[in-house]
Structures are given as structure tokens and as C-alpha cells.
Amino acid sequence: MRILVVEDDEIAAEYVRKGLMEAGHVVDLAGDGELGLEMVKAADYDALILDRMLPKRDGLSVLAAMREDGDATPVLILSALGEVDHRVEGLRAGGDDYLAKPYSFAELLARVEAIGRRSDPTAAVTKLKVGDLEMDLLARTVRRGEENILLQPREFRLLECLMRNAGRVVTRTMLLEKVWDYHFDPQTNVIDVHISRLRSKIDKSFDHALLHTVRGAGYRLQV
Amino acid sequence: MIAQLKRMFHSTVFRLSIVAAALFVASSFVVLGYIYYATVTTQLSAIDQDITVELADFQTAFDAGGPNAVNQVVVLKIIDPSQRSFYFYQNLNDAPTTNLESQPLPDKPRGPNETITFNSEIRDRATGKGTGVFHRARGQYQVLAPASVIFVARDTEFIMSASERLRRALMIAMGIALALGLASGVYVSRSFTRRIDSFNKLATDIRAGDFSRRAPVTGSGDELDDLADHLNGMLDHIDRLMSAMRYAGDSIAHDLRSPLTRLRTTLEATAVQVKDPQAVDALHRAADNASELLQTFESVLRIARLEAGDRRELLIDLDPKPLMDDLAELYEPSCEDAGLSLSWNIESGTHIAADRGLLSQAVSNLLENAIKYTPRGGEINLGLIKNRDGRVEISVTDTGIGIPQEQRQRVKERFVRLEQSRSKAGSGLGLSLVQAIADLHRATFALGDGAIMDKNNNTAGLRAALIFPRKRR
């Protein structure tokens, strides 16, 4: 993906650039809001990482100007203001996701890859398939190979989220947000417990595992 | 009402004002009594003196003209229609010359100038007969010569009845003074007790952790206002010291965040690059530790942010039931893994003003605490009820190790961890965050005994409850 990072903290921006490049992305940097807006207009990016507090022009205003121009580039808003109302404000202004500082790089990577791919036309999908694991979104059924797998409603949504992001890391926080619609930090491994239940249903009696734990990041569903 | 009265009788001010009222009544009794005494006795002694002078005149008349001269004067005085005096003159065994109905002279002789008080029947002037009306009178007699006795008396009915009226008036005045004294005692003590009560309430609130409370200053500039000013100054000072300390902690947390984040990013990035599995493992462990530190700092800052501003605008009217159902569902597997059974009684149709994210954070903290501190085989209950006061109460009850009564206030402070929890992971911030969230919601965060009985019928564990304020219409 081609990603533009608009961030005035040079050291932080450099870390992000280096990390994203190592993950195989092409990264441009902009140090202030105006430069960021110009660069977005000039080139076609797959995703934008936008700090909220920027010199010259703040992040939300850059975002508003982009959306007014009809620019639908997915935007991940970064902010030191982690409270719920700021998140709501950011998403309402047209952001696709919101990440509060300090974030772990793994979280940033997972989220930016998730929104980058979101621009693909996936809306009409009624069936998801990863390897021999199939999910029918209309009939609400899951089967792996020849075997039907019975899932609780929440497990179904958990698996759906992982399948929609197949091949990419999904962090615990992302799961909590997308599957449970919670925006808080559990201090314990509450998500891991749910994952391990799901894993015992979809992986246990099969010779190769689909649901992988990515150390220090989250989970990935992959053949 | 009765308890209130009892309290009032016990109040120092009430007792003092009763004493003051009693002293006031006693002193006015003395003053008024003196006025009464002086008025009446002065008039009476003037009368006595007058009589003495008149008797001396009779003596002079007797010495000059004998019994006849005296008789003549007495007759003249008796027939004077404006006469308000009584006379009695008897010489030897003659018929007495008198306007008295009865003989007032004492059986035994008395000393000269001795006053005799008696009731005299008033004679009708026209008929010379008694009218049956008795007036009080006082008089003296004088022996002018052996067997020649003159008695002169004055009608004192007017003075006596006036003095009686005065006495009655004074008694009534005294009664009114006593009643007023009592009433003002009650009033003063009530208003004073109310102000003292406001100080007591202040102390209780401050001890309960509400540091925003201040003593009321009425503006009257009295000693209680001075006391309130001093107390408020002292509280401001303590508040400043506390916030300085907190600020120091918050700034440390804030300033260490960026370098720690970079440290973690470096560790994570390096873990991806190196191939040696042992090194990868070590790097991940180090990154995890950095994450934990960051999370602690994040919690500190989060509490600080919640405490710093009034964020009431975040709250929306919501039914917490779906949230509680979800949380029960979210944590049930964790409970099961920890060998605990999770039950819930979640009422529907309750409404509170809350922020969904903050509320779920608070309840999840309580649930995670319960899971952490309840041994295998225990029970946890998540409750959402409308309690007896009509307030919505969200509670987490467990059969765990509990918190000793005397520590329950302390554990809500930052970084406080009890001896028995040292062995478990944690930062000592979970309950502080719950407290901060409760404060934002104007809810009470109460820690009590677990309602679940253990095998020996003792209450075991802990009940943590968020009690929300009744909604204002």
C-alpha cells in the first residue's frame, strides 16, 4: 500500500515510516497539515495516517477539506486525546478509524492495513472463505471441509471479523471494538479466552491450524 | 421529631440559651419586684406619715381644748363629703364619734405609730348605714389622755388594688419574658446547630473523599464565619498539596510515555528482524513489560483526565441492561477458565445517565478484580437492580478473599495494593479508575461484604456496587 503519514513529531514519524516500510508499504511523510493536504491532493494514496494536532492546519480540518473535495482515501486518525468523545468527533469528521497515543506499532499496522483494504468493494459479499473454512453470512452457517461447525452468535461474529481480515493481523483491541463494540482496555486476557474457544471449534479436530496467534500483536486467520 | 428534640436538648447552645433565659427572667424579676415594692411601699409610708402628722394635730387640739375640741374636729372631718379617711374618737365611756362601722382597735395595746391594717365597711353617706362594700384601710391610734383614744385611718383600697393590678401585670410580663427566652433559645440553638451540623457534614464528606466541599460562609463575619474561612483555607492548602503531588505523578507519567512508546516500538521492530528464537522471545517479553508500564501510565493519566474536568456532557440517558448482558457474556468464559461460576440478575427497564465506554470500563475492572481475587470453585454475581431507594445499582459480588472493613476506603486511592494482593499482577489503579468514573457519574462507589454465604454461614467475599443518583425529572 502507498501510505501518507502526516505527523509533526519527526522521531515518531520516522519510527512509523520505518515500521511500515518493513511491513512492505511505501511511505511518504508530511510534517504539517497544509503540506499533508497538498500531498493528498497531488498523489493517490491507499491510506492516510493523520495526527490530530498538527502545525498550520489541524488534523480534523485537513480531513474535512479532503472529504469536501470528494477524496475518499481511508484515514486513520492518531491522537493524544484518547477519550471517547474525541473518538466520536474524529469518526464523525470522516475518519475511518481512530487510534489513541501511545499506541503499539503492531496496533497501528493492523489498523491501517484494515482500513486500506476497506476501500475494496466488499459490501455485497455473502460468503467468506479461508482455505477449507467457509462462512455463509446469510444462512449464518460455518463449515470446514465436510464438517458443519456450530457457533454461538458472538463466536460467529468473532470469526466473521477474522475472516474478513484474513491474512492480516487483527489486534485484541480491534476485536473488542468490532465484535463487542467496546472501547475500553480490559486488564486481562478476556479476548484470548474467547479466541481459544473459537479455536477449539474450528481448528482442534483438523490437521492444520487456521487461527494463528501473532506474538505482541494479535491474531491472524491464514491458510 | 422526637430525636430532633432530644438532640436539641443535648446541644450546648440550647442549654446555654436556657441558662441565659433563666438569668434574664431572674434579673428582670428582681428589677420589676423592686419597682413594685418601691411604688407601693412609698405610697403606704407616705400615708402612714400623714396619719402620724394628723394624730399630732389632734394631740395639740386636745392639749389646747380638751376632748370637746377633738370631738369637734372629728365631726367636721367626718361630715366633709370628700373625706376618704376614717376616724374614731372615744373619750371615757362616751359614745364614740366615728365613721367606722366596726371597732378596729386591737385588744391589746400596741406601741405608738404602729400601723393597723383592716377591712372597713363603707358607709352610705346619705343613710349612714353600711353598704356591705369593704375597703382595705390602714390606720394608727393615739392615746391623747388616759381613756381618751383617737384612731385615724385612710382608705387604701385604691392603692392596694392598683398594686395588685401591677403585680398581676408583672407576673404576666415575667411569663412572657420566660416564653420569649425559651423561644429565642430554641431558635438560636437551632440556627447555630444547623451551622455546626454543616461543619460536621463537611468533615464527613471530606473524609469520604469529596475534596471539593467547603464550609459555608454566611457573610455575617461572626466567629463561625472566621472558623469556616480558616477551615476552607486549610482545605484549599491540603487540596493544593494533594494536586501538586498528583500533578507530579501525572507529569512523570506523561513525560515517560513517549520514550517508553519508542522503546516498545524499537523492541517490536527488532523482534521482527532477528532470527534467533531466544532473542525474539526476550525482545517480546521486554516489549510486553514496556506495554504494561505504558498501560499503568495510561491509567494514571486517564484517572487524572477524569478527575480534572467536569465531563458530564459525555453522559447520555441509557438502559444499562444490554451493556450488562454483553459484559456477562464477555466475561463468562474467563470465569469458567478460572473455575468460577458467573451468575447475573439483570433487571430490565432501568435508566441512568452514563457513558457507555466508561461504564463498561468500570464494570469490567470490578469483574476482573472479582475473577482475580476469588479462589477456584467460587461464585461471582453481576447485578443490575433498582434498589429500595429507587436508585439504580450495578454490583459485582464475589466469594473471594474480600477487603477488610478498615481498608475499603484506602483501596480506592491510587497505587494502593493490599498485602494479600501483592502476589497478583496489577498496578493498584483499577479501583481508583472505578472511583473516578463513579465520581463523573455522580454515583456512589461502595464496597461491602459479599452477600454470598460460605459453608460456615459467614459472609465471604466482596460486594462492589455503583449506586447511581436518582434521575431528576
Alpha helices in chain A (DSSP H): 10-22, 33-42, 59-68, 84-92, 105-118, 153-164, 172-179, 190-202
CB-CB under 8 Å, B326 with A106: no
Sheet containing strand B85-91, edge to edge, reads B97-98, B85-91, B148-155, B130-145, B116-123
Residues 6+ apart with CB under 8 A from B10: none
From chain B, the residues in CB contact with A89 under 8 A are none
Interface test with A, best of B250, B291, B330, B340 (most A CBs within 10 A): B330
pLDDT digits (tens, 9 = 90+) for A159-197: 988 988 888 889 888 888 888 888 777 777 888 999 999
Q: DSSP character for A82? A: -
* pLDDT given at position B157: 87
Interface test with A, best of B272, B280, B312, B380 (most A CBs within 10 A): B272
Cβ contact B184:B177 at 8 Å: no
From chain A, the residues in CB contact with B330 under 8 A are 180, 182, 190, 194
* pLDDT given at position B167: 85
- Taking CA atoms, what residue in A is nearest to B287? A216
Residue A30 to residue A33: CA distance in whole angstroms: 8
Shortest distance, CA B251 to any CA of chain A (angstroms): 14
* pLDDT given at position B309: 62
* pLDDT given at position B105: 64
CB-CB under 8 Å, B334 with A193: yes
More confident residue, A202 or B449: A202
**Partner residue facing B331 (CB), from A84, A85, A190:** A190
Residues 6+ apart with CB under 8 A from B182: B18, B21
Shortest distance, CA A82 to any CA of chain B (angstroms): 9
**Partner residue facing A193 (CB), from B284, B305, B333:** B333
Interface test with A, best of B265, B273, B359 (most A CBs within 10 A): B265
Shortest distance, CA A161 to any CA of chain B (angstroms): 16
∠ CA A136-A141-A145 to the nearest 5 degrees? 85
- Taking CA atoms, what residue in A is nearest to B269? A19
Residues 6+ apart with CB under 8 A from A29: A4, A5, A6, A7, A13, A14, A17
Residues 6+ apart with CB under 8 A from A106: A169, A171, A214, A216, A217, A218, B268
Cβ-Cβ contacts under 8 Å between A and B: the total is 95
- Residue ranges for chain B with pLDDT beneath 70: 1, 8, 102-113, 125, 128, 208-209, 308-313, 419-426, 451-459, 472-473
What is the amino acid identity at position B448?
A: G
* pLDDT given at position A49: 92
From chain A, the residues in CB contact with B261 under 8 A are 12, 101-103
Whether residue A153 has pLDDT greater than 60? yes
Interface of A with B (CB under 8 A): 11-12, 15, 18-19, 22, 82-85, 101-106, 154, 180, 182-190, 193-194, 197, 215-216
Residue A126 to residue A77: CA distance in whole angstroms: 30
Residue A146 to residue A137: CA distance in whole angstroms: 18
CB-CB under 8 Å, A82 with B265: no
**Partner residue facing A102 (CB), from B294, B357, B368:** B294
* pLDDT given at position B363: 92
Of the candidates B315, B310, B303, the one whose C-alpha atom is nearest the C-alpha of residue B427 is B303
- Taking CA atoms, what residue in B is nearest to A21? B269
Radius of gyration, alpha carbons of chain A: 19
Residue B352 to residue B283: CA distance in whole angstroms: 46
From chain A, the residues in CB contact with B357 under 8 A are 84, 182-184
Residue B235 to residue B232: CA distance in whole angstroms: 5
Q: DSSP letters of B294-352?
A: HHHHHHHHHHHHHHHS--GGG-EEE-SHHHHHHHHHHHHHHHHHTT-EEEEEE-SS--E
pLDDT digits (tens, 9 = 90+) for B235-254: 888 888 877 877 777 777 77
**Count of beta carbons in the 10 Å neighbourhood of residue B432:** 23
pLDDT digits (tens, 9 = 90+) for A100-116: 877 888 888 889 888 87
3-state secondary structure of A109: helix
pTM (2 d.p.): 0.61
Phi, psi angle pair for B271, to nearest 5°: -60, -30
From chain A, the residues in CB contact with B262 under 8 A are 11-12, 15
State ipTM: 0.77
Sheet containing strand A169-171, edge to edge, reads A169-171, A218-221, A211-214
Interface test with B, best of A78, A101, A184 (most B CBs within 10 A): A184
Residue B114 to residue B116: CA distance in whole angstroms: 7
**Partner residue facing A197 (CB), from B264, B326, B333:** B333
* pLDDT given at position B318: 87
Please give the C-alpha separations between residue B2 and each of B5, B6, B9, B190, B194, in angstroms, as whole numbers. Answer: 5, 6, 11, 14, 17
Residue B306 to residue B311: CA distance in whole angstroms: 7
Whether residue A98 has pLDDT greater than 70? yes
Residue B96 to residue B349: CA distance in whole angstroms: 110
Cell of B151: 384612731
* pLDDT given at position B86: 86
Shortest distance, CA A66 to any CA of chain B (angstroms): 28
Interface test with B, best of A11, A86, A173, A190 (most B CBs within 10 A): A190
Q: Is the backbone peptide bond immediately before A102 cis, with ω within 30 degrees of 0?
A: yes
Shortest distance, CA A105 to any CA of chain B (angstroms): 6
Cβ contact A51:A79 at 8 Å: yes
From chain B, the residues in CB contact with A193 under 8 A are 333-334, 337
Please give the C-alpha separations between residue A204 and each of A196, B401, B473, in angstroms, as whole numbers. Answer: 10, 36, 56
From chain B, the residues in CB contact with A190 under 8 A are 330-331, 333-334, 364, 368
3-state secondary structure of B464: strand
* pLDDT given at position B473: 47
Residues 6+ apart with CB under 8 A from B9: B15
Task: Supply the mean pLDDT for chain A.
Answer: 84
* pLDDT given at position B292: 81
Question: Could you tell me the pLDDT band of residue A4, with boundaries at 50, 70 and 90?
Answer: very high
**Partner residue facing A84 (CB), from B261, B291, B357:** B357
Interface test with B, best of A25, A175, A187 (most B CBs within 10 A): A187
Cβ contact B13:B178 at 8 Å: no
Residue B251 to residue B311: CA distance in whole angstroms: 21
CB-CB under 8 Å, B355 with A84: yes
- Taking CA atoms, what residue in A is nearest to B284? A216
From chain B, the residues in CB contact with A154 under 8 A are 329
- Taking CA atoms, what residue in B is nearest to A88? B314
**Partner residue facing A18 (CB), from B269, B298, B430:** B269
**What is the length of chain B?**
473
Residue B319 to residue B327: CA distance in whole angstroms: 14
CB-CB under 8 Å, A19 with B357: no
**Partner residue facing A182 (CB), from B288, B295, B360:** B360
**Partner residue facing B268 (CB), from A11, A193, A216:** A216
